[in-house]
A and B are shown apart, each in its own frame.
Chain A
């Protein structure tokens, strides 16, 4: 098996006395989608914030291309090739697509005094890069705010790819989307994978994860509950492991008991009167 592009070993993260992550290890390979699953509070966000340089682990090591690295800031992580696309995206709704795409890394041309944003290059590049992702844009001047949620996600993804990301971390990219929009985003995730990126896909939604994922890590209360490749795990098992089913079953039993209790009380009242 090829060496993973990104790996964490025995990561522990404490916030005061709260153990957010407890000896978590995981690997990300090139050309694969690694899904990180788990309920709210499982530690998913903490883990991706460590991978993207926002937090530093209390214990444990990060390895990039086989070497131990310390990610001190998001900027360092990005420079190394780890790009994170957050739910709230890093796009400005009132600005055109091309301005957004190159924001903070504007290509320039001209002599020092007349140094200017190479707008022609920016517009052409945006068009080409989005085309690679399978999106035709009519007008690069269109403000991002007028685009659909799926389109916006895909712009954020293609921007990360264009700026040399080797690892792409997607934080719940399908969370607020409808079925059609979500399937659009999943297609772009597959595109990124086809372009040999290591993708980390964080999700609540087992169906979405199972559709695009190659490897699955499930976190529960700060610990790795297990890790599987796609052929080791069925969708049903995955859902069960994500704690959804067990807890839902427990809930339905509880509801039955409540209903039964009310029934008994009602019967009791009938007897008294």
Chain B
């Protein structure tokens, strides 16, 4: 008994020894947070007068919000061990469907949006279903979806409108109420903000709660960690994966709707290439490319980094082409930082476990 007590005392000492710095570094989001601070400080030095104003903050949040909404959904999907390359083009497809129905058939914009939502759910289901039934990599399956949608976006739009753009969406019935719901400007501290920012924060909070606090969240981690193990202990892995693809598609639909109510039109090339920005934001946020480990908050910080970069490049008066180079650099840095922080955190723990085992046996 005395032996047991002695061990417990030692154990308690170790808890006390874990310092604040180490605890922060152990967090998934640590790398992204440092990155965000560095990027913010950089532009604060280069373009201080715009950057440090409330207008600057509003611009950054606006630029990050739709990217952030996608990053939230893509983070869940990637923690669940899958990719979706059709997310970017999907924001275009859903916008085109809703826009064309409303302008060509004169339906209410709300009905058009509902049809578009059903389409998004169907594509998400299809992606997920093919992935779980064929066990093909989701990379390939959704790449196929990406190309099909990309072609159809241009092809169908040209057939219907004889152009590659759907315009005058604001003349549809119910447009103003839809605009109010999805993407309204509002004034705060004398500056224009948009409801898309509120949507982003709300969805991020809900997704974090679901991931960390619910049974479904536990299943997401499990199917991403090892799908066979998850299945063996009774997790309905196929349902979890399919639902994650559907959630991602719905997020793309939401962003698509935000786009059309804001711009009052929709172009056939909308969203193409954005899928990689979403994935990079998620990876920057500490989520592993292999799944089973990650964070929604981290993905949001990742989105914020790219929102800052987009705005900061404009504020600094540079060519916006450089944004993609920045994206590439951030990706490689993020992957290296992830590997480093995770390894470091695990080394500490493994060393402790080893010490304890030896102690136990002696």
Q: Output the residue of A93, A116, A138, A147 with the most chain B CB within 10 A.
A: A138
In the complex, the answer to whether A147 meets B230 with C-beta atoms within 8 Å is no
Considering the complex, give the chain B residue whose CB is closest to the CB of A149: B357
Determine if B67 is an interface residue (Cβ-Cβ < 8 Å).
Answer: no
Name the prevailing secondary structure of the A interface residues.
loop
Contact of A146 with B349 in the complex, beta carbons under 8 Å = yes
CA distance A252 to B209 in the complex (A): 65
**Interface check B48, CB cutoff 8 A:** no
B316 at the interface (CB under 8 A from A): no
CB proximity to A under 8 Å, residues B343-358: 346, 349-350, 352-354, 357-358
> A117 contacts which chain B residues (CB < 8 A)?
213-215, 217-218
Q: How far is the CA of A75 from the CA of B229 in the complex (A)?
A: 14
Cα A273 to Cα B222 with chains together (Å): 73
Q: Which residue of A lies closest to B18 (CB)?
A: A139
- For residues 179 through 200 of chain A, which have their beta carbon under 8 Å from a beta carbon of chain B? 180-181, 183-184
Interface residues of B in 208-257 (CB under 8 A from A): 209, 213-215, 217-219, 221-222, 225-226, 229-230, 232-235
Binds B, one of A17-25, A58-66, A98-106, A241-249: A98-106
Contact of B350 among A119, A139, A146 (CB under 8 A): A146
For the complex, give the distance between the alpha carbons of A143 and B342 in Å: 11
Contacts of A102 in B (CB 8 A): 218
Say if the beta carbon of A133 comes within 8 Å of chain B: no
Is there an interface contact between A103 and B357, defined as CB atoms closer than 8 Å? no
Counting chain A CB atoms within 10 Å of each CB, the highest count among B8, B214, B218, B350 belongs to: B218
Convert A84-116 into 0s and 1s, putting 1 for each residue whose CB lies closer than 8 angstroms to a CB of B.
000011111111000100111110100000011
Residues on A with C-beta less than 8 A from B360 are: 184
Report the minimum CB–CB distance from A266 to chain B (whole Å): 50
User: A145 near B: Cβ within 8 Å?
Assistant: yes
Q: Which A-chain residue is minimally distant from B15 (CB atoms)? A: A138
Is B361 touching A180 in the complex (CB atoms < 8 A)?
yes
Q: Is A267 engaged at the interface, CB distance under 8 Å to the other chain?
A: no
Interface residues on B, range: 35 or more
> Given A94-B293, A136-B7 in contact, is the A180-B234 Cβ separation under 8 Å?
no
How many contacting A-B pairs (Cβ < 8 A)? 90
B292 within 8 A of A: yes
Residue from A88, A90, A145 whose CB has the most chain B CB atoms within 10 Å: A90
> Whole-angstrom distance from the CB of A133 to the nearest CB of chain B?
12
- B135 within 8 A of partner (CB): no
**Those of A115-131 within 8 Å (CB) of chain B:** 115-117, 119
In this assembly, does B133 line the interface, its C-beta being within 8 Å of a C-beta of chain A?
Answer: no
How many angstroms between the C-alpha atoms of A106 and B216 in the bound complex? 9
Find B292's partner among A74, A95, A146, A147 (CB 8 Å cutoff). A95
Is A95 a contact of B222 with CB atoms below 8 Å? yes
Known: A139-B15, A148-B353, A148-B357. A90 touches B232 (CB 8 A): yes
Question: How far, in angstroms, from A104 to B218 measured CA to CA in the complex?
Answer: 9
- Output the nearest chain A residue to B26 by Cβ-Cβ distance: A141
Per the bound structure, the CA–CA distance linking A150 and B357 in Å amounts to: 9
Q: A94-B293, A184-B361 are in contact. Are A142 and B218 (CB under 8 A)?
A: no
Bound Cα distance from A21 to B357, whole angstroms: 40
Q: Is B11 an interface residue (CB 8 A)?
A: yes
Determine the distance from Cα of A180 to Cα of B354 in the docked complex, in whole angstroms: 12
Contacts A94-B293, A151-B357, A184-B361 given; indicate if A146 touches B235 (C-beta within 8 A): no
Chain B nearest CB from A51 CB (Å) reads 16
In the docked arrangement, what's the CA distance between A95 and B81, Å?
A: 14
- Which residues of the other chain, A, contact B209 by a CB distance below 8 angstroms? 116
A152-193 interface bits toward B, Cβ cutoff 8 Å, 1 = contact, 0 = none: 000000000000000000000000000011011000000000
Expressed in whole angstroms, the minimum distance between the Cβ of B158 and any Cβ of chain A is 45
Contact of A142 among B222, B234, B235, B349 (CB under 8 A): B349
A18 to chain B, nearest CB (A): 25
- Residues of B within 8 Å of A145, CB to CB, are 346
Interface residue from A92, A95, A180 paired with B357 (Cβ < 8 Å): A180
CA distance A88 to B233 in the complex (A): 13
Asked if residues B213 and A91 are in contact (CB atoms below 8 Å), the reply is no
The winner among B229, B234, B235 for most chain A CB atoms within 10 A is B229
Q: Which residues of A contact B229 (CB under 8 A)?
A: 88-92
Partner of B234, one of A75, A99, A147: A75
Q: Are B225 and A94 in contact (CB under 8 A)?
A: yes
Kindly report which residue of chain A lies nearest to residue B358, judged by CB atoms: A180
A93-B225, A145-B346 in contact; A74/B232 too (CB < 8 A)? yes
Supplied contacts A103-B233, A116-B213, A117-B214, 10 more A-B pairs, CB within 8 Å: A88-B229, A89-B229, A94-B225, A99-B221, A103-B219, A104-B234, A106-B215, A116-B214, A117-B215, A180-B357
- Chosen A-B contacts, 20 in total, with CB atoms closer than 8 Å, are A75-B234, A88-B229, A90-B233, A92-B226, A92-B292, A93-B225, A94-B225, A103-B230, A103-B233, A106-B215, A117-B214, A136-B11, A138-B14, A138-B15, A143-B346, A143-B349, A146-B349, A146-B353, A148-B353, A184-B361
- Interface residues of B, Cβ cutoff 8 Å to A: 4, 7-8, 11, 14-15, 209, 213-215, 217-219, 221-222, 225-226, 229-230, 232-235, 288, 292-293, 346, 349-350, 352-354, 357-358, 360-361
10 closest residue pairs by CB, A with B = A104-B234, A92-B225, A146-B349, A104-B233, A106-B215, A180-B361, A116-B213, A94-B293, A94-B292, A148-B357
